[in-house]
Amino acid sequence: MTNHRAIALVFATHGAVAGSLSTRIPWLQDHFALTPGMLGLVLLCQPIGAFIGMPMASHLAYRIGGRRATRILIALWCVLVLAPVMAPGPGWLFGAFLLLGAAAGTSDVVMNAHAVVLERKLGRSIIAGLHGLWSVGSLAAGGLGVLAAHLGIDARLHLAAVAVLLLGLSTFAGRGLLADEPAAAGEPAPRRFALPTRAIAAIGLVGFCGTFAEGASANWAAVYVTQVAAAAPAAAAATYTVFMLFMAGTRLLGDRIVGRFGAVGVVRVGGVVAAVGGVLVVAGRTTWVCAAGFALIGIGVAVSAPLAYAAAGRTGSSPGEGVAGVTTITYLSSLIAPAVIGGAADVLSYPAAFALIIVVVLLMGVLAGALRPRPAPVVPEPCPS
């Protein structure tokens, strides 16, 4: 197995874990008799766990090697998908989702850092396609999860089978990952808890804008067409699926597009495409016009976050530290976007709330210059003894 195929399988596996768990959240709510408010607090523990773990991921990779860290953390992520459904009581869910979030966030950082290192070796963009495979893994596993729920299969049995299968795939993929190169003489160790530098924060803002539009659309697309276009439940679900499919498809083709036009140009054009999609969503009053708008938003923002990870990996003192900084920012964006859109829709209206996405994606295009390649940092040579 080539290094590229190995890391591609890691990304698909990571997405499959996320997709599998998301389909069994209703089972968790019913099994533990959680109120909507309690469920919201439980689910909030996952991003909190990620925020705690992600800034420490680059130091861990430095200590034990990026290849080994990726193998261990992706395996942990596969196993911990069982933690929530195996919890002995509702109170245990908080700890389960904290651990789950930490595993998700740290594995996300190290596998993206590994992808950046492999990009350098190959001399071409691969990270957009890898994120496309993450989306494919998530969609495929989510579909199987829906089928399992429809057939009445207990979530513990379903996720146990998922954990075993994906653990096997991740172990197989780990054998083909790129071997670590010896650290350069005088290269400093990453900080134990790496917060974003100013340069990383500038790149992170691009990812923040793209992830904001992505998170808002993914969480609210079905609700939006139901409330604004009076869509039937099937059509509302189809609108979400259209958004996800167009975003995944664009990511799979993204590396070729980036290789031809460059990261900055692609993100700038993507901002315009997403803004046009936002206009269709805001102005449209039929399901299919809105669905077309969400498709354009998906196309426009698809590669912004992956390209931000790649740029950060080239800019930071180490790939892991740079990716950790941007990932922290994009996780924050995905956390607040649904709440911001929901609050704006409650105070104003759904179209007015989604007008905010138009502003955000246009800002993404304006800030795209931060993704421009920078000269590699000069590592000082050690003084002769």
Residues 6+ apart with CB under 8 A from 256: none
What is the DSSP code (8-state) at residue 370? G
Q: Are 245 and 263 in contact (CB under 8 A)?
A: no
Domain membership flag for residue 259: yes
Domain membership flag for residue 308: yes
Rounded to 10°, the helix 36-64/92-122 angle is: 40
Q: What is the pLDDT of residue 381?
A: 47
Q: What is the largest CA-CA distance in the chain?
A: 76
- Which CATH number characterizes residue 91's domain? 1.20.1250.20
CA dist 184 → 109, 133, 162 (Å): 21, 32, 40
Whether residues 169 and 207 fall in one domain: no
Rounded CA separation 90/94 (Å): 8
Whether residues 110 and 236 fall in one domain: no
Whether residues 75 and 211 fall in one domain: no
Q: What is the pLDDT of residue 351?
A: 93
Rounded CA separation 6/76 (Å): 17
Q: Which tokens in the block code for residue 162?
A: 């998922």
Ranges of H-type helices in 262-318:
263-283, 287-301, 304-315
Q: What is the pLDDT of residues 96-131, one digit of tens each?
A: 999 998 999 899 889 988 888 888 888 888 888 998
Q: What is the pLDDT of residue 303?
A: 93
Q: Are 145 and 22 in contact (CB under 8 A)?
A: yes
Q: What is the pLDDT of residue 295?
A: 95
Per-residue exposure over 91-124, b if at least 16 CB sit within 10 Å of its own CB, e if not: eebbebbbbbbbbbbbbbbbbbbbbbbbbeeeee
Rounded CA separation 24/29 (Å): 9
Whether residues 144 and 232 fall in one domain: no
Rounded CA separation 273/71 (Å): 37
Whether residues 95 and 202 fall in one domain: no
Domain membership flag for residue 180: no
Q: Which tokens in the block code for residue 280?
A: 């269709």
Whether residues 265 and 146 fall in one domain: no
Whether residues 152 and 219 fall in one domain: no
Domain membership flag for residue 292: yes
347 exposure class (CB count in 10 Å sphere: 0-12, 13-18, 19+): exposed
Whether residues 245 and 314 fall in one domain: yes
Mean pLDDT for each 10-residue chunk of the chain (385 residues)? 90 91 84 82 84 81 86 94 92 92 90 88 88 89 84 91 94 89 53 67 92 88 88 82 90 91 94 97 92 95 92 75 82 81 87 94 95 60 47
Which of 174, 209, 237 finishes a domain? 174
Three-state SS at 138: helix
Whether residues 235 and 155 fall in one domain: no
Q: Which tokens in the block code for residue 58?
A: 């680059």
What backbone phi and psi angles, to 5 degrees, belong to 348? -110, -90
Residues 6+ apart with CB under 8 A from 44: none
Residue 318 belongs to what domain range? 198-371
CA dist 34 → 30, 31, 77, 370 (Å): 7, 8, 24, 44
Rounded CA separation 166/75 (Å): 8
The residue among 306, 283, 338, 385 whose CA lies nearest residue 131 is 306
Q: What is the pLDDT of residue 185?
A: 39
Whether residues 28 and 153 fall in one domain: yes
Instruction: Report how far Cα 218 is from the mean position of its chain's Cα atoms.
Output: 12
Rg (CA), the chain: 20
Which of 140, 158, 174 finishes a domain? 174
Whether residues 203 and 166 fall in one domain: no
Domain membership flag for residue 185: no
Domain membership flag for residue 184: no
Domain membership flag for residue 381: no
Number of domains in the chain: 2
Which of 174, 207, 224 finishes a domain? 174
What is the DSSP code (8-state) at residue 164? H
Rounded CA separation 114/59 (Å): 14
Q: Are 169 and 9 in contact (CB under 8 A)?
A: yes
Whether residues 143 and 291 fall in one domain: no
Count the residues in the chain: 385
Element (H, E) at 371: none
Domain membership flag for residue 376: no
* C-alpha distance across the termini of the chain, in Å: 44
